[in-house]
Amino acid sequence: MSETTPILSVRGISKSFPGVKALAGVDFNLYQGEVHALMGENGAGKSTLIKLLTGVYERDQGQIFLEGKEIRPHSPNHAQEMGISTVYQEVNLVPTLSVAENIFLGRQPLRFGAIQWQKMKTGAEAALQRLNLNLDVKQQLSSYSIAVQQMVAIARALDISAKILILDEPTSSLDSNEVAQLFKVVRKLKKDGLGIIFVTHFLDQVYEISDRITVLRNGQLVGEFETGALPRIELIKKMIGREFEAFNAQDDKRESSAEIDKKQFMKVERLSKKGAVVPFDLSLHIGEVLGLAGLLGSGRTEIARLLFGIDKADHGRIFLDNRQVAFFSPRKAIAFGFGFCPEDRKTSGIIEELSVKENIILALQAKKGWLHTISRKTQEEIAATYIRTLNIATPNADQKVKNLSGGNQQKAIVARWLASNPRFLILDEPTRGIDIGAKAEIQKLILSLSNEGMSILFISSELNEVTRCAHRVVVLRDRRKITELTADQIDEQVIMHTIAEG
């Protein structure tokens, strides 16, 4: 293999699913010591390409070469043995086992049939050391943050043997410190000569860490570019296939701010729960978008859960339409006209075996009561509207949701809550994993629904999104409300500083 032979090269690879051509004759090259970003809209074919490389799916056509030799990976284990390792957003290790056991899962050192614990411990420590990580390897994996769990997954992958490391949206649920930690590791591995494939929807991260970019659109290769030579605006154009029209949220907002009913919808006094959030006050007007900003673990999700009645507050009072209400349950919250789009679509959102249409209709149906069926025609109309507006890539509304790409599943969940037309909607990280075009559509919808009188609590780690959509922003730090910003005070830099001080 010469200096210029790619460590991995893919020629004319294709893959179809019923009704979908996920990849059509795509080429891809990865070199040693580079970070190569794989970019494209939701459903463009990124994860499918990765699944072909790692033997999750079998290709219909095309060839894969590893160090110049053709390979046919037939399972993730097989790919791993050849040196191709993958770390997904969802850590696929065993949370209830120790760190050491996870690193040696399925290959524990045995002696006369018994596990050699000491050897495993030392081995695990050495594997982590390679990433400059010092962990107590006897601790249960779940006792560490998702970020650390991902590092353990990387350590495991590298320990087995790795020439190529694939990261498919690994940073979606990490905060900025954790991303920095992960990138430190990535830089080190790059120096060690690995080839790294990185999939993400965060453009900042692409420009921070990648050397080259391959763009896919609708299963086709758009091109391969040097990161430094491709301005952002060009990258976006290549991804979406047209000029990106950023909408002017400021205008929409100003219009609605003027109209925001001075009528209070909800007021919260000294609400608190031990270990979740210290006493805080909050008010929300009819037709207002209230943003919650803060780091992961700052209390954002905890507040959302209290307001929806999933967790019960220890103290405090809640008023709706100026009348005090007793602490309630999610069932009662729904009866009040609340909706809650949770942050983790896998555990509390998507129902994989149901169709796209059924997933979208679900919250509306629950609100109406299961005895009042929604006519087939209405169901189809609602589904069609959201599939169109949010550009959900699916062959039809009856496709099972599990067959959609990650970002398109997320869009279906958001559609579910928008379609249920609640009086008050809590959106916790609604655009995670969603591409830039659909993000703008969701932001637009949020503003237009608020114009129609919906009150919205909007939680997002992406500050520019909060500043765009919210009429007012509450900033949290360490489970405490620090400040509240209105109208012209809402500014990314100001929020960032408020979050960071401490």
Ligand X SMILES: Nc1ncnc2c1ncn2[C@@H]1O[C@H](COP(=O)(O)OP(=O)(O)OP(=O)(O)O)[C@@H](O)[C@H]1O
Residues found near ligand X in the complex (CB under 6 A): 17, 20, 22, 40, 42-48, 393, 403-408
**Which CB, 390 or 476, lies closer to ligand X?**
390
Phi and psi angles of residue 229, each rounded to the nearest 5 degrees, phi first: -100, 5
User: Which of ligand X, Mg ion, none interacts with 165 (beta carbon under 5 to 8 A by kind)?
Assistant: none
User: Which of Mg ion, ligand X, none interacts with 17 (beta carbon under 5 to 8 A by kind)?
Assistant: ligand X
Question: How far is residue 189's CA from residue 196's CA, in Å, rounded to a whole number?
Answer: 8
**Which CB, 236 or 304, lies closer to ligand X?**
236
Q: Collect contacts of 334-339 with beta carbons under 8 A, ≥24 apart.
A: 334/366, 334/367, 336/423, 336/424, 337/367, 337/422, 337/423, 337/424, 338/307, 338/308, 338/422, 338/423, 338/424, 338/425, 338/426, 339/363, 339/417, 339/420, 339/422, 339/424, 339/425, 339/426
Distance in Å, CB of 20 to ligand X, minimum: 5
User: Which of Mg ion, ligand X, none interacts with 52 (beta carbon under 5 to 8 A by kind)?
Assistant: none
- Of 226, 182, 176, 184, the closest CA to residue 204 belongs to 176
User: In sequence order, what are the beta bridge partners of 127?
Assistant: none
User: Which of Mg ion, ligand X, none interacts with 299 (beta carbon under 5 to 8 A by kind)?
Assistant: none
- Of 62, 54, 67, the closest CA to residue 15 belongs to 62
**Which CB, 253 or 432, lies closer to ligand X?**
432
User: Which of Mg ion, ligand X, none interacts with 408 (beta carbon under 5 to 8 A by kind)?
Assistant: ligand X
Distance in Å, CB of 146 to ligand X, minimum: 18
Distance in Å, CB of 218 to ligand X, minimum: 9
Q: In this chain, which residue has its C-beta nearest to Mg ion?
A: 47
Residues contributing to the site for Mg ion (CB under 5 A): 47, 405-406
Helix (H) or strand (E) holding 48: helix 46-53
**Which CB, 199 or 363, lies closer to Mg ion?**
199
User: Which of ligand X, Mg ion, none interacts with 121 (beta carbon under 5 to 8 A by kind)?
Assistant: none
User: Which of Mg ion, ligand X, none interacts with 48 (beta carbon under 5 to 8 A by kind)?
Assistant: ligand X
**For residues 453 and 428, is the Cβ–Cβ distance under 8 A?**
no
CA dihedral 91, 22, 350, 442 (to 10 degrees): 100
Distance in Å, CB of 46 to Mg ion, minimum: 5
Q: In this chain, which residue has its C-beta nearest to ligand X?
A: 407
Distance in Å, CB of 403 to ligand X, minimum: 3
Strand, coil or helix: 290: strand
Q: At what angle do helices 117-129 and 146-160 cross, to 10 degrees?
A: 100
Distance in Å, CB of 176 to ligand X, minimum: 21
**Which CB, 128 or 199, lies closer to ligand X?**
199
Query: Which residue carries 């062959």 as its tokens?
Result: 395
Question: How far is residue 417's CA from residue 280's CA, in Å, rounded to a whole number?
Answer: 26
Helices assigned H by DSSP within 107-201: 117-129, 146-160, 176-191
**Which CB, 317 or 400, lies closer to ligand X?**
400
Distance in Å, CB of 386 to ligand X, minimum: 16
**Which CB, 9 or 48, lies closer to Mg ion?**
48
